[in-house]
Amino acid sequence: MKHSMMRGAVAAIAIAATTLAMAACTPSAAEDDGKLVAFGPQGDNGTLKDNAFTKEVEEKFDIDFDWQTTTYDGSVAGEKRQVSLASGDYPDAYFLVPWVDAFSRSEILKYGQQGVLLPLEDLIDEYAPTLKERFEEKPDWKESVTAPDGHIYAITQWSECYHCSFPSKLWMNSTWLENLGLDQPTTTEELRAVLRAFKDDDPNGNGVQDEVPLSGSATQPIINYLMNAFAYAPVAGPSSPPPMVMEGGEVKLAATSDEWRAGLAYINSLASEGLLDTAAFTQNGDALKALGDNSGAEILGSAVDLHPYDFVTPESPDGRDKNYDAVAPVAGPDGTQFATWRSPVNPLGMFALTNKSTEDERIKAIKLIDYLVTDDGDKRGAMGPEGEAWVPAVDGDVALDPELDPTFKPLTYDETSNAAWRSMAQYWDSLEYRNSQVVPEDVYSPDGYERRLLIASQEYDPYKPDESILFPSEKLWPNADTSAELADLQTNIANYVTQAQAEFVTGQRDINDDGAWQAYLDDLEGLGVAQFLQLEQELYDALK
């Protein structure tokens, strides 16, 4: 009993301290100068202060911004944001970019429960009718932004970019296939045969064996496409969790299964024949693009990537950018055939208000966010002004999805323009909104590129895994008591799996040696994989 009373007293003291801290940090009307101090990344095309969209929304919502800016370099921006919070010299509001400096879920929960980030749900209910409607329209979005304590401390991004949903696509040189009289492969062994022909049969016709049959980059793992013929491979990358899947409601590490081992053995066999460029496990995107843009002869036969302009420059003088078409997921020996799928839910916090803001500033800021989740607000904030970045659709235009009525036509964006917030304004991107844009029907022109990606993604859609397999990492909220431990376990296990896979593929470890495989499994156990899976299971079970 005494123990319970003591816990209650400590809790009361903590709550009182938090309340005092919030009161101390909340400016009075007399103290506040009427400026909304806002933290955000700033590009090299002009200042946020002078940005045309900034000026537009300042007038529209009677906001006077005072910007604390950083760069689009993620490490620099993230550090500056963390320093601002640690020092106590933080702004009234954060306007962040997911791939630059957005809040992690651990940070959202930490600073929200400390009272630094304010709950937004009451503001949304009263002043953000469009955002409220969007949450009703996309319940997964509302679920993802609602912390376990019931509060919404940050607004995240909802993006149903269709082609982004299938990030691990194989793009193959169709001109080479035609030169050799070959069809696109449909199985793992047909893929091997095509890659052999690319390597040995001089498809570029220069009389030199300089072809690279298959490559990729470390940022978009080549393993994913190939592994999907043996076991489902979740989204992976340098900052991603290790590959986890669901099996009968139980969280599993896919990278320990017999099927995963079989996939690695197949990939190793490609590498041992010189059919797979092993630099794909270490090189960055620039190195991959150097292969695609090789001066003189075209040498890249295929690559695993989100889209081909990542590895070949649009409107190349010799037209090679038009040569790459997506190959649907190939089937493995037992018929396994998956496509890696990415959720439209982004768990990283883009917008948050702090306890330094006044009530008036909070209302104005949430009204601005409400505008950004309208179709017009997204076009203006993320794209730019009408007539400069986009124009309304006219009679005869065809939408990206021909079954939808076209609504707007994007124009070629001037990268030097300082007229929009671009990524900092991208909160809302529904499938219907995105697919209603006007896109030319010439899929091999830069203007028709989005249609080319749509058609490619339609080849992958039938192989999306069902929810019984997908591990919903983007929906999980950390437990304050175990979040630090879980983060360390995740980093160590993910890094080890990535390293070991590359070593198995390149032959530094023998994938066909039972002892080598067992040593790999033992190493994972030593890194705490059992504890890691238990903690992830607890977070998953908390969703129910």
List the one residue out of 80, 82, 83, 90 whose CA is nearest residue 25. Answer: 90
Both 187 and 254 in one domain: the answer is: yes
Is residue 462, in this structure, part of any structural domain at all?
Answer: no
In the prediction, which pLDDT does 24 show? 40
Helix, strand, coil % (nearest 5) of the chain? 45, 10, 40
Whole-angstrom Cα distance, residue 295 to residue 107? 46
Buried b (16+ CB within 10 A) or exposed e, 448-486: ebbbbbbebbebbeebebeeebbbbbbbbbbbeeebeeb
Report the alpha-carbon angle 479-481-486, nearest 5. Answer: 65
Both 197 and 332 in one domain: the answer is: yes
Both 91 and 204 in one domain: the answer is: no
Q: What is the 3-state secondary structure (H, E, C) of 157-195?
A: CEECCCHHHCCCEEEEEHHHHHHHCCCCCCEHHHHHHHH
pLDDT by residue (tens digit) across 308-343? Answer: 999 999 999 999 999 999 999 999 999 999 999 999
- In this structure, what token pair is assigned to residue 54? 């900034």
pLDDT by residue (tens digit) across 78-135? Answer: 999 999 999 999 999 999 999 899 999 999 999 999 999 999 999 999 999 999 999 9
Whole-angstrom Cα distance, residue 363 to residue 360? 5
Instruction: Give the number of other Cβ atoms within 10 Å of residue 286's Cβ.
Output: 9
List the one residue out of 165, 173, 222 whose CA is nearest residue 463. Answer: 165
Is residue 447, in this structure, part of any structural domain at all?
Answer: no
Q: What is the 3-state secondary structure (H, E, C) of 61-89?
A: HCCCEEEEEECCCHHHHHHHHHHHHHHCC
**CB hemisphere CA count around 263 (13 angstroms):** 28
In the prediction, which pLDDT does 27 show? 53
Give the range of the structural domain holding residue 128, as residue numbers without chain letter.
33-163+344-437
Instruction: Give the number of other Cβ atoms within 10 Å of residue 129's Cβ.
Output: 12
In the prediction, which pLDDT does 30 show? 44
pTM (predicted TM-score)? 0.88
The domain spanning residue 52 has which CATH number?
A: 3.40.190.10
Is residue 61, in this structure, part of any structural domain at all?
Answer: yes
Domain count, the chain: 2
In the prediction, which pLDDT does 4 show? 31
Both 193 and 294 in one domain: the answer is: yes
Residues of the chain where predicted confidence (pLDDT) is lower than 70: 1-31, 238-239
Both 293 and 246 in one domain: the answer is: yes
Instruction: Please give the helix or strand (H or E) that residue 342 lies within, else none.
Output: none
Q: Domain end: 437, 459, 480, which one? A: 437
